[in-house]
A and B are shown apart, each in its own frame.
Chain A
Amino acid sequence: MSRFIEPAMAILLALLWISPLVFALWAAFHDVSDAVNFRLSAPLTLDNFRTAWEGAPWLQYFLNTFLLVTLILTGQFFLCTLAGFAFAQTEFRGRDTMFILVLLQLFILPEVLIVENYRVAAALGLLDSLAGIGAPYMASAFGIFLMRQAFKSVPKDLEEAARVEGCSTLGVLWRVYVPAARPTYLAYALVSVSTHWNNFLWPLIVTNSESTRPLTVGLSLFGAPENGVDISVISAATVMVIAPLLILFLVFQRQFVQAFLTAGVK
């Protein structure tokens, strides 16, 4: 008997866990009165998507989010590669103190520093720009830590071989360490993209125009009660916004889970 209880509970919990998503999908493809009254045989419709699509400059928002995550990822790769390499393979006085300082940023989150970061962004003329949204996240302590761990596991022989061939420090980094850490880069990229695709608070504060606003901020404005859209249209917009990342996740599920694991269990 008890052999069936646990699997049943597991599956029940799984159904419960995806039910918000399933209901939103269902509502998105049905007329609002059919959706809220759960008429299971009601006809499917794409009207909600049409209404939602026309209600906001989604294409612009998609483009902004896409450019934003690309910008952040590029910045992170550049800064974290150099810093991770410095911590892993060079020696200098004060290195360990600096490392602790960097790790502190794991706790002093950019989210908490919104008040002063806003002033910094304003002083640098970065308000309402993609660079302004991305800048606080680029020197990520998490990324630096991750790259340091990856570079530490590269065998020293490889570096010495490259040195004998006449490579400079940067040459060694580029030719030996970066290729060897490819899986870590992939993992970091997946984690970073999904984090910043979903980020909301800081973009909300920094942006104030359509030309820079990312999807999450656009979605929150679109769904605001003042906008007077019904739940089916909100569902359609939500489905639209989450679809790219969700499809990506379902296709590359194994890599995604592996990525979060590599990123977390170091």
Chain B
Amino acid sequence: MTDAFALERRRRAVNGWLLLSPALIMLSVFAFYPSLATVVTSLWSRGTRRRPSEFVGLENYQYLFEDPTFWLVAWNNLLYAAVTIPVSIALALAMALWANSKIPARSFVRTAYFTPTVLPMIAAANLWLFFYTPSFGILNQIGALFGAGPVNWLGQPGTALWAVSAVTIWKEAGFFMIFYLAALQTIPPDLKEAAEIEGASRWTYLRRIVLPLLMPTTLFILVNAMINSVKLIDHLFILTKGGPSDSSKLILYYIWENAFAYFDRPAAAAMTALVLAVLGALAAFQFLVLDKRTHYR
């Protein structure tokens, strides 16, 4: 009898692995193997026709750390994250609070906030070109009304990164709003009534009741926004190509450039390995810290 039971369990286990195998094969080929290959490639020299590729240990990383462009790009990405993450989260929260309150034209407002989310980043960049172009861009025309001189938003190192960040915020905020909106709708209305009876101001209610209740959502959005600050670079291809003089270049763009424009695969691999390490740390943070609270069931 135990034999039949064990057999049944074996059968189920085999079934489980069989069901899982197609996805596992694809994940191995296009995620796990490439991750390992990245690390391996980053330890070998760039092969040329005369000198084949050889094992060089951490030399590629050393070159990378000596490359001032790498540090500039890393710094740019840090700034990009430091601006786009908090601003888009704060805007998303404001949008959600407004879209959830009784205001006129609420459905229009909601749609307007969310629309950028369904547009390709490339198209978004094209739309924003109209704002930024030096000769007739809308920003400069508005500036001229107030007597400001023309600014070449995308063409000077001081503004290019911020111009690029603005597009990212525009694209992201409405997306994050949705998650706040969902969370807001789960807050029982009694809480608001109770707060009003106690004489709490709207601001106190927001700060002491709403924001703490939204904390899990905020963390979820935060992790997503961090991933996006690595991933969202498509608009660079249209707006700045990382220039002028690398002032708006971000890590993933630089990886692309090294691999597919300069054909320096080891350098690109070394950078990818570093990005993977950062994302891995983020994953560990998510699984070990955040999921302790919201465990998957």
Contacts and interface: CB of A to CB of B under 8 A. Distances in A.
A6 B16 contact: no
A200 B119 CA distance: 12
A105 B175 CA distance: 21
Interface in B119-161: 119-124, 126-131, 133, 135-136, 138, 141
A82 B252 CA distance: 33
Contact of B129 (A11, A18, A90, A234): A234
Interface string A220-253: 1001000000010011011001100110011001
A17 B115 contact: yes
Given A24-B127, A82-B22, A241 B255 contact: no
A231 B129 contact: yes
A51 interface: no
Contact of A241 (B104, B118, B120): B120
Contacts of B91: 13
A113 B111 CA distance: 34
Contact of B27 (A20, A78, A139, A237): A139
Contacts of A102: 23, 27
A111 B279 CA distance: 12
A117 B130 contact: no
Contacts of A9: 98
A122 interface: no
Contact of B276 (A112, A135, A223, A235): A112
A118 interface: yes
B122 A200 contact: yes
A17 B282 contact: no
Contacts of B95: 10, 13
A257 B114 CA distance: 8
A138 interface: yes
B115 A249 contact: yes
B279 A108 contact: yes
A222 B230 CA distance: 26
Given A115-B268, A198-B119, A23 B178 contact: no
Nearest to A266: B296
B109 A10 contact: yes
Nearest to A106: B283
Contacts of A37: 136
Interface stretch (B60-68, B187-195, B233-241): B233-241
Contact of B269 (A15, A82, A92, A115): A115
Nearest to A232: B130
B289 to A, nearest CB: 14
Nearest to B260: A205
A244 B112 CA distance: 17
A40 interface: no
B34 A246 contact: no
A90 B12 CA distance: 6
A61 interface: no
A24 B175 CA distance: 21
A174 interface: no
Given A17-B174, A82-B23, A246 B259 contact: no
Interface in B194-231: 220, 227, 230-231
- In the A-B complex, list the 4 residue pairs whose CB atoms are closest, starting with the nearest: A139-B26, A90-B16, A116-B34, A198-B120
Given A10-B103, A11-B103, A14-B105, 9 more contacts: A21-B115, A107-B286, A110-B31, A113-B35, A116-B33, A144-B23, A194-B118, A200-B237, A249-B115
12 contacts: A83-B19, A90-B12, A90-B13, A91-B13, A108-B31, A115-B268, A116-B272, A118-B259, A198-B123, A231-B130, A242-B119, A265-B183
Interface of A: 6-7, 9-11, 13-15, 17-18, 20-21, 23-24, 27, 36-38, 78-80, 82-83, 85-87, 90-93, 95, 98, 100-120, 124, 135-136, 138-139, 141, 144, 149, 152, 169, 194, 197-201, 204-205, 215-216, 219-220, 223, 231, 234-235, 237-238, 241-242, 245-246, 249-250, 253, 256-257, 260-261, 264-265
